[in-house]
Structure 1
Amino acid sequence: MIGVRNPVVLCCALNLFAFLSVCSSDVSISVSPKTLLRSRDPVAIWWSGVSSPSKLDWVGIYSPANSSHDDFIGYVFLSSSPGWENGSGFISIPLINLRSSYRFRIFRWNESEVDVTRVDKDHNPLPGTEHLLVESEEIEFKPGRGPEQVHLALTGRAGEMRVMFVTSHGEESFVRYGLARTRKGLDQVAGTRVERYEKEHMCGAPANQSVGWRDPGYIHDGVMINLENKQRYFYQVGSNQEGWSNIYSFVSPDSNSNETIAFLLGDMGTFTPYTTFQRTQAESKSTIKWISRDLRAIGDRPAIISHVGDISYARGYAWLWDTFFTQIEPIASAAPYHVCVGNHEYDWPSQPWRPDWAANIYKQDGGGECGVPFSLRFNMPGNSSEPTGTAAPATRNLYYSFDMGPVHFVYMSTETNFLPGSNQYQFLEQDLEQVDRGKTPYVVFQGHRPMYTTSSGHKDGALRQKLVEHIEPLLLKNKVSLALWGHVHRYERFCPLNNFTCGSLEKNGKFWEAFPVHIVIGMGGQDWQPTWEPRPEHPTDPVFPQPVRSEFRAGQFGYARIVANMEKLRFSYVGNHDGKVHDSVEIMAPDPSVFDSTSHSLYHDL
């Protein structure tokens, strides 16, 4: 345990009358342990001697430890501790390894000092830092404990699995893997390449300012090769010099499989156990909990996880990326985690493609990141990229595809040029035309901003019109099975659609025209979206009526599952509030011999 006492003499000199009762007594703070081992390890903080405590007194969390008072990563009010009125208390906070030391500082903050014009992104007044009472000694993470933030991805090539992780040093690191958990069982080794990004790569505030920027560490990228089909592989990452990670495991894809299992979500974000400059997403913990349950339940069957944009909601506050990757590690280290870009990873006022009709759509939602953390912290199949027009490296991971079992997955970017003539449009057109529907009878198309939604009024209307005009014909021509979207933080399933019109039933009531079923799955954790009924504190928000084309919509958080074989694909929506299925639909496999028919797909609303 560490202790430090501070009589706050300077405070007394400057504020003799207003703060005499505080300054005349010593304030002490103690933290334990001094050295943490891994991310999410808790640190305990005790304090005492706070005279005439205010309910707004707060403890700030600082990393690096020498950060200026206003550049905290978060804070907790002392009044959250039982007995705080007596001037003493205790809190415990799990910390993320940010590759630099931490320090805690306690400040006096009175209601008379609250500045309602100086607020965070959640409209909370930022706490005052004028009256420092005490600060702790530094605490740090023990070096040599191995990398963290481990996550997998498919490469698009059979017999391979990509693994990425973060270190503080950038030294040569490896992946060792094999079919047994023992050290001897990890008998194969892969090297890694290393990348990082710098503050000057950011294109705006807060990402390029001291309040938001934190060193991102070194991002390592390795590929495990020569994997046997559908085997549980064990692996760990690191080096003998800098230490090894825990041992993780995954089930390798089966290139001959007739089954696909996928867990899908959008707009999840991450959670911090403290208040910070951005609103964080407590519900994201439940999403990960239930997906973890499902991964355990499927046992030794391969699966993927798909996140359709708005990933961490860091928006320029770098430590939230570290928090996000630490939070998803239990699932992302066990199954490949695939993403597409959202507005909160990318958008900035001078982005290269910003047509006149999108001037009020593409704004500064990326917090000055201009897609850089997204591009370097993930590595998706393919080689799509677009220049940023700034010092930042090109934006990557924009559009790509891969097969898994009987499903062909396609990802697009709604934030960069998708109009005819663009590189992205050409890719989507060629990719969809080349799908072998005998091998992969289902096509699941994914992007961030939805082509169809009933819950956001006229917002993004011009963009949705362009999607309907230019992208929907590709989906219809190539008989895409499902189109999944995020951005709207609710779940909504539509009938099979063509230009806002449902497919027609034939006489037996089962055969639908081969239109894609559009589903919005942005219910992963972010909670900004108003529900379809007015909230008590927002009585004037519009109520959006449910048209016939919208067959099911729900306001609960959750995620989706796909389980497909060569006969049918079943899509289900799972609610976080109970972990149960609340909506599902089945799409029957088309008959390749009649693939030019417009009435091939069986669609069951279950």
Structure 2
Amino acid sequence: MEKLLGLLILVVYNCLQTSARPQSRQPEQVHLSLGVKPSQMVVTWLTQDDVNATVMVEYGTQLGQYQYQALGQTTVFVDGGAGQTVRYIHRAKMVVAPGQRYFYHVGSNAGWSNMFYFNTLPAGTNISYKVCIFGDLGIVNGVSFGRLQRDAQRGAFDLVIHVGDFAYDLSAENGTWGDQFMRQIEPIAAYVPYMVVAGNHEETYNYSNYVNLFTMPNSSDNQYYSFDMGPVHFVALSTEYYGFFYKYGLTPVFNQFKWLNDDLAKANQNRDNVPWILTYMHRPLYCSNENSEECMGLDNDLIRNGVPGVPGLEDTFNTHAIDFGFWGHEHSYERMWPVYNRNVYNQSADPYHNAPAPIYVVTGSAGCYSLHAGFDQDPAPWSAVRALDYGYSILTVYNYTHLYLQQISDDKNGAVIDSLWITKDRNHYYNAVYRNSLRSVHIPKPKRSENHVFMDDSNEIH
């Protein structure tokens, strides 16, 4: 009887294993990202096993008819966890035309994905579109997932920017949390390009899960890059080079800084065609959350101003007259007045018209297991609007002179809890002379503990 029971258990086990294995060659975690050129759309997907076949994307503009093929490339990724789990990452580049809807699927003779679709923007630079921006989205308490998935497939936005901290964490449990997260974003990212920057929660194993799972333009490690989309030049940056400099050294800080100055210099030469410049990264330069060391501490000062011999970012942002900056890290929403060097420019009748300094937004409230960050009782002088609702930001790019920001609340069933027009005259870009002609409020630097050190506290969940 015991032998029969043992045989039955073995048969059941083998059946379960056999039924699971064919699925491991099936494409999953399908997601889009922008290519180096406007005529390119990149699709990335994963299989748990080697497919031993040519991988590709088949795509076309007619439903169910794939007119084109693009062969893919495969990277073998070994997770850094104890299990040393092997995954196979596949990437293919589609050549696309403006103003079209494309239908596509990915895979090989070993298995194909479902059919997905995406839209390309019209040609030209003076065009309108919507960008969905958020950070700090986890598997547990990922409040915004449902609305984001639904709205992506409804065409409510044309681009997603995730400003760091994924899954909590992509590397957890031998990367299986990353698998689950990437499956959850597929109903968003298979339909809309999903652009990313790293947060502090991606640092494990030298960012290897983050680097391997995503594909960003002009970047081998997805840490910094830029692209143009209509009238906006987007610049993605890593604040984690500053946050973890004690572990990886300062060379990444210097390399990024040199690239940033070169990139923004080129962007300013093209401002007749692409007048807006928007940056996005993970950690904030300014905020007013109750954990003040995150908002006004030495770590923020390092990113903002640097230290002797180490460049910060704020002066460069202002030298090149960036318009907008988005951050996460704090699990809240906060919109700032135009601010530079702790000078707040909110004394005019319309501070957001021809703003003399960048406008910054913290949008880290998409939902994760550490709940909300909380705010100081009194807003900082640079703070215009604050909210603890779960949600995300929508930036509507209208044209060369008008942007429109909305904050969507999941707590309030998709209601808009903040909105703002950002406008500027054609060919207006601020400089020091213009800024100095306006009244401002200066906020002195806070007193700091002598014992504070530049270290990322791994016990804090941001």
TM score, norm. by length of structure 1: 0.62
Correspondence 1:249 to 2:84: no
Larger radius of gyration: 1
Correspondence 1:169 to 2:53: no
Contact 1:260 1:404 in 2 (8 A): no
Amino acid at match of 1:180: Q
Task: Give ranges in structure 1 of 5+ residues lacking alignment.
Answer: 7-28, 35-64, 67-99, 103-137, 271-280, 347-365, 385-395, 534-542, 601-606
Task: State the SS of the aligned residue for 2:185.
Answer: helix
- How far the C-alpha of 1:560 sits from its partner, in A, is 0.7
Q: Distance in 1 between matches of 2:77 and 2:101?
A: 34
- How far the C-alpha of 1:479 sits from its partner, in A, is 1.7
Correspondence 1:214 to 2:85: yes
Q: Distance in 2 between matches of 1:509 and 1:516?
A: 11
Correspondence 1:572 to 2:406: yes
Q: Distance in 2 between matches of 1:159 and 1:553?
A: 39
- How far the C-alpha of 1:544 sits from its partner, in A, is 4.5
What is the match of residue 308 of structure 2? Answer: none
- How far the C-alpha of 1:101 sits from its partner, in A, is 6.1
* CA gap 1:176/1:454 in 2 versus in 1, 3 angstroms: same
The structure with the greater share of residues assigned to helix is: 2
Contact 1:407 1:440 in 2 (8 A): yes
Query: Which runs of 4 or more aligned residues in structure 1 lie more than 6 Å from their structure 2 counterparts after TM superposition?
Result: 418-421, 507-510
What is the match of residue 309 of structure 2? Answer: none
Aligned partner of 2:77 among 192, 197, 201: 197
* CA gap 1:588/1:529 in 2 versus in 1, 3 angstroms: same
What is the match of residue 418 of structure 2? Answer: 583
Correspondence 1:431 to 2:263: yes
Counterpart mapping for 1:373-522 below 5 A: 373-384=209-220, 396-416=221-241, 422-435=254-267, 436-455=270-289, 456-459=291-294, 461-469=297-305, 470-506=312-348, 511=353, 513-522=355-364
Q: Distance in 2 between matches of 1:509 and 1:379?
A: 37
Aligned partner of 2:133 among 248, 255, 264: 264
Task: State the SS of the aligned residue for 1:492.
Answer: strand
Counterpart mapping for 1:189-338 below 5 A: 189-199=69-79, 202=80, 207=81, 209-210=82-83, 213-215=84-86, 217-225=87-95, 227-239=96-108, 241-257=109-125, 258-270=127-139, 281-282=140-141, 284=142, 286-298=143-155, 303-314=158-169, 315-317=171-173, 318-338=175-195
Task: State the SS of the aligned residue for 1:335.
Answer: coil
Counterpart mapping for 1:90-105 below 5 A: none
1:406-459 Cα offsets, whole Å, 9 max, x none, are: 111111011115979711001111111221222222211111111111112114
Contact 1:146 1:243 in 2 (8 A): yes
Contact 1:145 1:244 in 2 (8 A): no
Correspondence 1:525 to 2:393: no
Question: How much identity, in percent, do the aligned residues show?
Answer: 29
Task: State the SS of the aligned residue for 1:552.
Answer: strand
* CA gap 1:409/1:101 in 2 versus in 1, 3 angstroms: farther
- How far the C-alpha of 1:164 sits from its partner, in A, is 0.6
Correspondence 1:558 to 2:391: yes
Bigger relative contact order (CA 8 A; separation at least 6): 2
- How far the C-alpha of 1:196 sits from its partner, in A, is 1.8
Contact 1:260 1:407 in 2 (8 A): no
Task: State the SS of the aligned residue for 1:574.
Answer: strand
Q: Distance in 2 between matches of 1:507 and 1:308?
A: 31
* CA gap 1:267/1:173 in 2 versus in 1, 3 angstroms: same
* CA gap 1:423/1:187 in 2 versus in 1, 3 angstroms: same
- How far the C-alpha of 1:142 sits from its partner, in A, is 4.2
- How far the C-alpha of 1:296 sits from its partner, in A, is 4.2
CA RMSD of aligned residues (A): 2.9
Q: Please identify, of 333-342 and 433-442, the stretch whose mean Cα deviation from structure 2 is larger.
A: 433-442
* CA gap 1:174/1:508 in 2 versus in 1, 3 angstroms: closer
Amino acid at match of 1:487: H
What is the match of residue 149 of structure 1? Answer: 29
* CA gap 1:590/1:401 in 2 versus in 1, 3 angstroms: farther
Q: Distance in 2 between matches of 1:447 and 1:508?
A: 27
- How far the C-alpha of 1:329 sits from its partner, in A, is 0.4
Task: State the SS of the aligned residue for 2:241.
Answer: coil
What is the match of residue 197 of structure 2? Answer: 340
Q: Distance in 2 between matches of 1:141 and 1:576?
A: 38
1:365-414 Cα offsets, whole Å, 9 max, x none, are: x3xx3211111111101135xxxxxxxxxxx0110010111111111011
Counting matched residue pairs gives: 405
Task: State the SS of the aligned residue for 1:175.
Answer: strand
* CA gap 1:513/1:176 in 2 versus in 1, 3 angstroms: closer
Task: State the SS of the aligned residue for 2:325.
Answer: strand
Contact 1:179 1:233 in 2 (8 A): yes
Contact 1:569 1:589 in 2 (8 A): no
Contact 1:503 1:512 in 2 (8 A): no
Q: Distance in 2 between matches of 1:446 and 1:475?
A: 12
1:472-521 Cα offsets, whole Å, 9 max, x none, are: 11111222111111111111111111122211534677756421111111
Amino acid at match of 1:173: V
Amino acid at match of 1:147: P
What is the match of residue 45 of structure 1? Answer: none
Q: Distance in 2 between matches of 1:222 and 1:169?
A: 16
Q: Please identify, of 149-158 and 429-438, the stretch whose mean Cα deviation from structure 2 is larger.
A: 429-438
Task: State the SS of the aligned residue for 2:318.
Answer: helix
- How far the C-alpha of 1:297 sits from its partner, in A, is 4.2
Q: Distance in 1 between matches of 2:341 and 2:384?
A: 16
